[in-house]
Structure formats: C-alpha cells, structure tokens
C-alpha cells in the first residue's frame, strides 16, 4: 500500500535564538544536537516500517509531537520561533521506547535545567537586543 506523507513546511528556527541557546547550553556544560526534527500528531508510528524508512530518507534526527503548531503559525505569520526539545526516548530503537519509569527519570533529572536554559537564553537576547528575525520564504 502507498503512504501519503504531507508536504513539509520550512520551520527554520531563528539563527540568533539557536546560537544563544547553544551558548547557554555550553556554559552549563551540557551537550546538544541540532538537525531536522519531524513534527507529527501521529500516534504509534514506531511500528510502521515504511514511515521509519521515510524518516531516515528525510534525515530526521528526532520526532516531535508538540511544537509543530508553533512552527506552522510562526512561519505563516513571520514570527521568530525556536524550540529547545528535551529528548525523552529513542523509539527508532526497540530498547529506546519510552516507559513511564524512563519518562519520570528524564523529567526528574533534566526538566528544571532545560527550562532554566531556555529562560536564560531568552533573557540574554532581550538584554542584548539581538534580532531573532531571519530570511523570509
């Protein structure tokens, strides 16, 4: 059977916002990854091998189910946007699927620092007055 995957909408984060977040993460001595994150509202996609092949084809480094609306509305209205995602699982690997216990462990260990990094980056951008606008499509 053929699968339909909707056309992608460019959801490029503001470069200065991304740069500032990276600086703050570095100051906190943490690692981070950047790349294409595929946003979807699709549940239980982990068992669809064709969809997983598609994710590899578009070189997605992650799946996000919460921020696609923010990026879509921001793109349509020329609003600067960005997302600092806290990875809670690795569902492309059978052993990486999230459980209640692993989710609780990740949130307990990282959620407060994650939020602090985001707020700190935004405060620094506000203080310096750096633009977070970028190219329009």
pLDDT at position 137 = 40
pLDDT at 72: 80
C-beta of residue 39 within 8 angstroms of C-beta of residue 61: no
Residue pointed to by tokens 């994710």: 55
Structure tokens at 44: 């239980």
Helix (H, G, I), strand (E, B) or coil at 18: helix
- The tokens of 10 are what? 């460019």
Q: Which residue stretches of the chain have pLDDT < 50?
A: 1, 135-137
Q: What's the predicted TM-score (pTM) here?
A: 0.71
pLDDT value for 15: 80
């Amino acid at each position: 059977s053929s699968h339909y995957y909707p056309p992608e909408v460019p959801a490029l984060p503001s470069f200065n916002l991304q740069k500032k977040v990276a600086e703050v993460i570095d100051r906190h001595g943490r690692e981070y990854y950047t790349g294409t994150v595929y946003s979807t509202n699709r549940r239980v996609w982990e068992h669809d091998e064709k969809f997983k092949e598609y994710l590899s084809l578009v070189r997605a480094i992650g799946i996000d189910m919460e921020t696609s609306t923010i990026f879509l509305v921001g793109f349509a209205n020329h609003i600067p946007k960005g997302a600092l995602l806290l990875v809670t699982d690795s569902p492309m690997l059978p052993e990486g699927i999230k459980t209640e216990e692993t989710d609780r462990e990740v949130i307990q260990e990282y959620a407060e620092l994650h939020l602090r990094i985001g707020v700190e980056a935004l405060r620094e951008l506000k203080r310096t007055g750096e633009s977070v606008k970028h190219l329009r499509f």
